[in-house]
């Protein structure tokens, strides 16, 4: 392994973690096994062949890319499959946030300079994590503002008892499902 990498437990589970890279997480629909569906299709398998695939949560496919642009391009290449087998796709871009994921639509808007990264944190989908699986999202608006202008307040996930939460920034259009 090279400097800045290692297999360690992070808040998303065990996996190869490379500091400063963009992470993609594809969440499967409840009635399909997303990893099987993607890897059993030749075009999707070819698109994913250069990546080390991981599973952050039950029924997810996760991988690292070199940039936000590469992540959005990969998701665009997989669009036909995502429409059929995935309920969501997230991107963790360290230049935007090292703890909050971006929805696919928001990642695309940030990549296309349609929204500034620092303006992307108002609308959130907070997912619970229970027994290793993502639960339904709770949509919230971050309202509290610190002295430096950054928004901090995120209400506690209260749709059910969960082990932890995953915060995903979403577009205004996606807000509310």
Cα–Cα dist 173/151, whole Å: 20
pLDDT of residue 142: 86
- Paired tokens of 160: 């059910």
Q: Is this model's pTM higher than 0.75 or not? A: yes
pLDDT per residue of the chain (177 residues) written in tens, 0 to 9: 333 434 334 444 444 445 679 999 999 999 999 999 999 999 999 999 999 999 999 999 999 999 999 999 999 999 999 999 999 999 999 999 999 999 999 999 999 999 999 999 999 999 999 999 999 999 999 876 666 655 567 888 999 999 999 999 999 999 865
Number of helices and strands in the chain (H, E): 5, 9
Measured at the CA of 145, the angle between CA 144 and CA 147, to 5 degrees, comes to: 145
């Amino acid at each position: 392994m090279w400097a800045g990498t290692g297999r360690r437990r992070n808040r998303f589970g065990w996996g190869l973690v490379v500091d400063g890279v963009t992470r993609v997480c594809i969440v499967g629909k409840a009635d399909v096994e997303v990893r099987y569906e993607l890897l059993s299709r030749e075009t999707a398998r070819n698109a994913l062949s250069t990546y080390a695939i991981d599973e952050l949560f039950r029924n997810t496919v996760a991988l690292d890319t070199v940039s936000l642009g590469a992540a959005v391009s990969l998701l665009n290449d997989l669009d036909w499959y995502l429409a059929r087998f995935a309920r969501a796709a997230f991107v963790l871009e360290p230049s935007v946030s090292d703890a909050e994921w971006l929805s696919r639509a928001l990642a695309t808007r940030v990549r296309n300079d349609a929204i500034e990264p620092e303006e992307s944190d108002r609308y959130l989908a907070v997912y619970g994590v229970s027994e290793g699986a993502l639960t339904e999202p709770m949509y919230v608006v971050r309202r509290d503002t610190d002295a430096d202008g950054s928004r901090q307040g995120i209400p506690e996930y209260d749709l059910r008892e969960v082990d932890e939460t995953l915060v995903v920034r979403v577009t205004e259009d996606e807000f509310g499902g």
